[in-house]
Amino acid sequence: MVASYTSFVELSSLNVKIENLEDELHDEKQNHRGALTKCQELEEQLQRNNQNCPTRSVTEADPRSKQDNELAAAAEKLQECQETILLLGKQLKSMCPQTEQVASSPSQEQTLNLEEDNESATSTKKSRQQID
């Protein structure tokens, strides 16, 4: 009799657990349906937005990438010009006799200092590019 009572209590406990799990499953199914419905609504809204503005993302991306390419090309040309100026400055220095360099005017010294500054700037840019 005690064994049957224990079995009955155990069976009742299991039935309660089954009912709780069924209720939980029912709630989860409802939540899933709600989430699925919301997902479908959002997908439809996204499709409508994409249909209304299909060219927006393409046209926004093109000018940016085009501008980036132009900036990179301009930076490259600037570097080439600076190197050319530096080489021309060195050639000019080598053509001038030593006596003229000693007797040079202040404006010529400023020009030479400017060329030296360009040379150091070019070498700094080259080292930065090598790091990048």
More confident residue, 76 or 131: 76
* Model confidence at 111: pLDDT above 70: no
Of the listed ranges 32-41, 72-81, 113-122, the one predicted with least confidence: 113-122
Decide if 104 is inside a domain.
yes
% residues pLDDT > 70 (the chain): 67
Cβ neighbours for 121, distance < 8 A, ≥ 6 positions apart: 82
Based on the structure, what is the number of domains in the chain? 2
- Interval 5-16 mean pLDDT: 93
* Model confidence at 120: pLDDT above 60: yes
On whether both 47 and 95 belong to a single domain, the answer is no
The mean predicted confidence, pLDDT, of the chain is 79
- Phi, psi angles (nearest 5°) of residue 75: -65, -40
CA separation for the pair 99, 107 (Å, rounded): 17
Are 89 and 129 contacting, i.e. CB atoms less than 8 angstroms apart? no
CA separation for the pair 23, 20 (Å, rounded): 5
Domain range enclosing 49: 1-54
Decide if 118 is inside a domain.
yes
Decide if 102 is inside a domain.
yes
* Model confidence at 123: pLDDT above 90: no
CA separation for the pair 29, 73 (Å, rounded): 59
Decide if 65 is inside a domain.
no
CA separation for the pair 4, 10 (Å, rounded): 10
Structure tokens at 18: 């089954």
- pLDDT at position 26 is 93
- Interval 75-88 mean pLDDT: 92
CA separation for the pair 93, 119 (Å, rounded): 14
On whether both 1 and 49 belong to a single domain, the answer is yes
- Phi, psi angles (nearest 5°) of residue 104: -70, 150
- pLDDT at position 91 is 86
Q: How far is CA 128 from the centre of its chain?
A: 20
On whether both 44 and 82 belong to a single domain, the answer is no
- Interval 73-88 mean pLDDT: 92
Give the pTM: 0.36
More confident residue, 70 or 128: 70
